[in-house]
Copies of this chain bind each other. A is one copy, B any other.
Amino acid sequence: MKKMELNKELLKKDAPIGVFDSGVGGLTVVREIIRQIPNEKIIYFGDTARVPYGSKSRDTVTRFSEQIVRFLRTFQVKTIVVACNTASAYALEALEQESDIPIIGVVRPGARTAAEVTRNGRIGVIATEATIGSQIYSEYIKKLKQNVTIYGKACPLLVPLVEEGLLEDPVTEEIARRYLSELIDIDIDTLILGCTHYPLVRSTLGRIMGPEVTLVNPAYETARELKELLAGLDLLNSQTPALGSNRYQFYVSDMAEKFLRFANSIIKYGILSARAINIEAY
């Protein structure tokens, strides 16, 4: 299906970028955007009332994502980043069809990098059940490169372990070892961290996989692709916005204390507040 044409009227350099995720994980993408294009304003939405997405169906994740896009567009954003692998896997195509501003997900940038860096053509993907079940990484990688084999492994317990802050903990290591053992056995040389929480246990995953395996962090690659996209459309913000509450705005669907605690541990910038809104009204 053909995408809608971009509406140039809506694309303003000094407009903010909308970023969303099922909860806190997408903040690892925000962190990379802040590092790579620090002039940009960001409106973040975390769907903390309905998190997690990774065990939900395509229809549900798509409906939720469409509501969030409607919410983010009330801020006249110039582009939207789907900073959630599950939403990128299930909903990105539907969102793109209906959108007259650019929308990018985290899956394609991660897939592209993995296709570039693999030497033996054996790529592992760890992600939620939904992302693995969708086979989306495999689909994208195979469009870019022939003679590759992609091994997907769902790791449902890693998200709650990370959210409990057990980043360097023997239990997390034991669970990760169980999940990764079959990927080690089949000799992958590249591992995609296909869930936005996983970069937070990157060192544990790297230790288990060993130095021969390249870890691909889609959060980093997505920020890079976003920068290229904005540069190509001449939409990079040329002025540094004044530091202050409007530069980075955080919205959530449920005002869990946990969001602020977690957000402040990921982004050292100092997230002073997050506003709760009723996302079901969008």
Contact = CB atoms under 8 A, between A and B. Distances in A.
A161 B59 CA distance: 26
A57 B257 CA distance: 9
Nearest to A161: B157
Interface stretch (A48-56, A78-86, A136-144, A205-213): A48-56
Given A171-B175, A280-B280, A256 B160 contact: no
Contacts of A174: 171
Given A156-B160, A164-B156, A256 B56 contact: yes
Count of chain copies? 2
Contacts of A163: 156
Contacts of A273: none
Contacts of A60: 49, 253-254
Contacts of A253: 60
A160 B157 CA distance: 7
B160 A56 contact: no
A115 to B, nearest CB: 30
Given A50-B50, A175-B171, A57 B160 contact: no
